[in-house]
Amino acid sequence: MSEAQRTPFVESLLEAAAQAQLPGSGIGWLDAARRENLEAFAAAGLPDTRMEAWKYTALRALGQRRFEPGDAQAATRAVDDATYALPGVDGPALVFVNGVFRADLSRIDSLPAGLSLLPLSHALNGDAEPLRFALSRHYREGGDAFARLNAALAGDGVVLRVAAGAKVAQAVHLVMIGAAAESDLAWHVRHIVELGEDAELSLVEHHVASGEQQHLGTQVADVVLRKGAQLRHVTLQNSSAGGTLVRHNSVQLDEDAQASLYVLELGGALVRHDLHATLAGDRARMETRGVFVLNGRQHVDTQMALRHQALNTASDSIWRGVADQRSRGVFRGAIVVAPGADGSDASLSSKNLLLSGQAEIDTKPELEIYADEVKAAHGATVGQLDERSLFYLRSRGIPLTEARAILTAAFCRAVFESLDNDALREHLDQQLMAHLPSA
């Protein structure tokens, strides 16, 4: 793309980059990585729908928008802590407002033994060398525009490490707040998480809004689970109704590692979540559970790619989507069982519910198997509420709107059953119910 063709979106972000004073600048390898990713972003711009991974998510309108560089007042904006309080989550917390770490809102003193938790901006001021591998990545796929942007512009995020053998009992709360500002902002966070051998961690990733705004947020997270480590990762995405949020999360599981991911997508106008997991070690196990509930003109696109790369690995994925009014949900679940990953077991279910004639859901399970003795099952459906069930409820006196809400909640609820934090699970249930039409 020549400069003449640059969209307002690309232009505004290049201006942002020119002005940015990022933590860690002056570190040679980091400067180089930021510059190269920025150049790749400038050259390719945003992907279009001819690209398979973006087939159902058009970015033309976003391309015409401009975003101000970082929020100069992010460090002082008032945020009510009720905005992000979560039942069952009262351990260490790291809070970012418009992408900027807020020590005053965070809780990182007296960390449990074995847990190290630092904002990236601080980590880069110390010895940055351990972050070199994660932060010098080059995103080479044309569809990785937002990851490139993030690599070029992210100045904060979390660096979280759990020492080998350490079992962190309290859930760590990671809060990204989009706060209303004088103009539309672009903010970026970059997370790096590593669980040492046999370490255990519960992580809650939480996207919320403080006041209505139409910011663009990008997040890139790399999570590594060493041998035997166990992670429970819950994401509650409740960002601003007008916001754009793009997350790119990668998880690597070594031998005998186990990860359980729970994702509840409720907020945002345009939301994209790329979830890439690699079952890299023998007997690694992964469970993913996700629900999206959409209304208005929301557009939420989840692209999950799981790669079984070692012997006897297992993945089990259950996703449910509900779309009302003129909203659109997209789910792609691609599972690859690589050569040599014999004895793998992969199952994927994507069931979806359309509550309105104008809503749309596109779901696409893909399974590629190149190994032997593999057990694999996948299924995807898009349908409407069962008329017989609706009539049964109504015949007992339950009004139509309430009957629809009850059946829709029931459709989603079973997904989070295996989440063993009762208070948090109930909260997710309530949030889900509150988001359903006329519940």
Partner 1 sequence: MLKIENLHARVEGKDILKGLTLTVNPGEVHAIMGPNGAGKSTLGNVLSGRDGYEVTEGSVTFNGVDLLALEPEERAAAGVFLAFQYPVEIPGVNNTYFLRAALNAQRKQRGEKELDSMQFLKLVREKLKIMQISDELLHRAVNEGFSGGEKKRNEIFQMAVLEPKLAILDETDSGLDIDALKQVAQGVNALRSTERGFLVITHYQRLLDYIEPDFVHVLADGRIVESGDKTLALKLEEHGYAWVADKDPALTGASA
Task: Catalog residues that contact partner 1 under the rule CB under 8 A.
Answer: 386-389, 391-400, 402-403, 406-407, 409-411, 413-414
The residue among 282 and 402 lying less far from partner 1, judged by its C-beta, is 402
Give the helix, strand, coil percentages of the chain, each rounded to 5.
25, 40, 40
Secondary structure class of 155 (helix, strand, coil): coil
- Helices 145-153 and 28-44, axial angle in degrees (round to 10): 140
Name the residue nearer to partner 1 (CB basis): 76 or 401: 401
Nearer of residues 386 and 422 to partner 1, judged by Cβ: 386
C-beta of 314: minimal distance to partner 1 in Å?
A: 25
Give the C-alpha separation, 295 to 327, whole Å.
Answer: 5
146/188 Cα distance (integer angstroms):
10
Judge residue 55's burial from the number of C-beta atoms within 10 Å of its C-beta, 0-12 exposed, 13-18 middle, 19 or more buried.
middle
What's the CA gap between 247 and 262, in Å, rounded? 15
Q: How far is the CB of 328 from partner 1 (least distance, A)?
A: 25
Locate 22 and state its tokens: 């990022």
Q: Which is nearer to partner 1, 14 or 419 (CB)?
A: 419
For partner 1, which is the closer residue by CB, 128 or 406? 406
Nearer to partner 1, 267 or 290 (CB): 290
What's the min distance (Å) between Cβ of 411 and partner 1?
7
Q: How far is the CB of 12 from partner 1 (least distance, A)?
A: 46
Structure tokens at 104: 């005053």
| 370 or 392: CB nearest partner 1 | 392
Least Å distance between CB 412 and partner 1? 8
Q: How far is the CB of 6 from partner 1 (least distance, A)?
A: 50
CA dihedral sign, ordered 22, 26, 27, 29: positive
Identify the CA nearest to 365 among candidates 352, 351, 348.
Answer: 348
| Phi and psi angles of residue 87, each rounded to the nearest 5 degrees, phi first | -65, 140
- φ/ψ of residue 3, rounded to 5: -60, -35
Which one, 370 or 391, has the nearer CB to partner 1?
A: 391
CB 265 to partner 1: min, Å = 19
CA–CA dist 141, 44 (Å, integer)? 10
Least Å distance, CB 409 to partner 1, is 8
Output the six-digit token pair for 71: 């929020």
400-413 helix and 387-395 helix, angle to the nearest 10 degrees: 130
